[in-house]
């Protein structure tokens, strides 16, 4: 085993799952997916700002990872490798969506009009939560935080999600995003400052409940990828 993982049981376990999955063990691959689905989804959503798009991106990222399990050489932690695949997929989808929007916008642009009709993201506000007052209050705080994170500039949003919500070390975020570690630290501090200015002083922006990953969503991603894997095996 690579020495960098000797003192990291979770990473070592991931390596074992990757090895078994690479040999065709779909149960091992399912375990790997369920372990990392939430952080991959959060990373993708921070880029796409759309739940359905992020879910599709993560499913496609897992399929791509499945096709390259044999190529994984443990040069980075498995979690870092998987997150990078998800981020690349999300970035590709965002570029594709932007190109499609530009095409639609151009088609409907009125001649001699200086500005085309602006294209807006779909409303992704969380639905109202029923229940006791305390539960409703917590749900409102979570909703407000998610909204403020979505409003962060692209430059800061993914850095904040990986550092604050997923608690990924700055060095790993730098690897995942292809940035200098110092840049990651500066962007994270600026993101926190922007959020602190927007939220109440007593509200902690390090809320692990933000962008919660429901069991149904996890099941859909796992089922979709496993179905493709089983079909490819026949």
38-50 confidence digits (pLDDT tens): 999 999 999 998 8
Question: pLDDT band at 113, cuts 50/70/90?
Answer: very low
Highest mean pLDDT among 81-85, 123-127, 165-169: 81-85
What's the average model confidence in pLDDT over 189-214?
71
Residues 6 or more apart whose CB falls under 8 angstroms from that of 213 comprise 37, 38, 41, 42
pLDDT over threshold 80, residue 216: yes
Provide the CATH topology of domain 7-106+214-233: Rna Polymerase Sigma Factor; Chain: A (1.10.1740)
Specify the CATH number of the domain 133-198.
1.10.10.10
* Higher pLDDT pick, 43 / 123: 43
Question: pLDDT band at 110, cuts 50/70/90?
Answer: very low
pLDDT over threshold 60, residue 207: no
Q: Within a 10 A sphere around the Cβ of 89, how many other Cβ atoms?
A: 26
Exposed / middle / buried, residue 132 (Cβ in 10 Å: 0-12, 13-18, 19+): exposed
Domain boundaries of the chain, sorted by first residue: 7-106+214-233, 133-198
Task: Provide the pLDDT for residue 130.
Answer: 45
């Amino acid at each position: 085993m690579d020495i960098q993982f000797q003192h990291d049981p979770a990473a070592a376990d991931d390596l074992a799952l990757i090895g078994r999955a690479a040999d065709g063990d779909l149960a091992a691959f399912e375990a790997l997916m369920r372990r990392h689905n939430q952080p991959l989804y959060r990373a993708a959503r921070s880029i796409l700002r759309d739940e359905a798009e992020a879910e599709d991106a993560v499913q496609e990222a897992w399929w791509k990872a499945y096709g390259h399990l044999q190529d994984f050489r443990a040069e980075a932690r498995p979690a870092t490798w998987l997150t990078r695949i998800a981020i690349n997929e999300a970035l590709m989808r965002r570029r594709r969506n932007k190109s499609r929007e530009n095409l639609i916008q151009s088609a409907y642009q009125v001649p001699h009009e200086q500005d085309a009709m602006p294209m807006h993201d779909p409303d992704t506000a969380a639905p109202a939560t029923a229940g006791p007052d305390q539960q409703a209050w917590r749900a409102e705080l979570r909703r407000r935080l998610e909204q403020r994170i979505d409003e962060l500039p692209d430059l800061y949003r993914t850095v904040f999600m990986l550092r604050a919500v997923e608690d990924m070390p700055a060095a790993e975020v730098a690897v995942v995003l292809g940035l200098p570690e110092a840049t990651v630290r500066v962007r994270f501090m600026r993101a926190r400052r922007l959020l602190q200015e927007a939220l109440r002083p007593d509200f902690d922006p390090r809320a692990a409940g933000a962008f919660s990953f429901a069991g149904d969503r996890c099941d859909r991603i796992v089922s979709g990828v496993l179905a493709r894997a089983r079909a490819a095996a026949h």
